[in-house]
Amino acid sequence: MEIATWVPQMAPIMNTSQHDPLGWHGTTILCVRKTGPDGQAQVAMAGDGQVSMGQTVVKNNARKVRRIAGGRVITGFAGATADAFTLLERLEAKLERFPDQLERAAVELAKDWRTDRYLRRLEALLAVADKDRSLLITGQGDVLDPEDGIIGIGSGGNYALAAARALMTVDGLTAEEIAKRSMTIAADICVYTNGRFVVETL
């Protein structure tokens, strides 16, 4: 099964719609994958807690990063919350059908998302990761594998992504430390991102 590779020079994908012409806002999700000193992969996914409605902050402690599949997969979402939860439920069902096959489950979800009349209307982006792969899933039927192991989505995704790439060159930092520092930088720049982070690690 062929998975598209997301080259480092490509900016994070931001869907646009007639309701949100500037792309997904009100959130920042960052996933960092790094090989630790023991040779094992470290994976950290972080999300901020702010939910915005227009120019108003309506919630500061939303949880946009979650574990599914018995804790073996971590997920983060940008976009409409109800839509994202619907897609996460579908992804978890795919993982029950294809245990420990995140790529297969992601591809099956992307196919359904693109072709199903109901799912096509859902507006969200999903970042998912297990111990082996990190993937970005979009409503255009894309399953993207970042070549550098970093995914950034949401209004602050570009800022967090740039910071994480820079920090990856710093010796001694874990994936979790890189994620937290990068999210702090994004929160200082993006008005739709706050400093109340949720971080999950594998």
Residues labelled as active-site residues: 27
Edge to edge, the sheet with strand 198-201 lists 150-154, 28-35, 41-47, 198-201
Beta strands in the chain (DSSP E): 4-6, 28-35, 41-47, 51-53, 56-59, 65-68, 73-79, 124-129, 134-137, 143-146, 150-154, 198-201
d(CA 87, CA 59): 22
Q: Give the pair of three-digit tokens for residue 25.
A: 């806002």
Residues β-bridged to residue 10: none
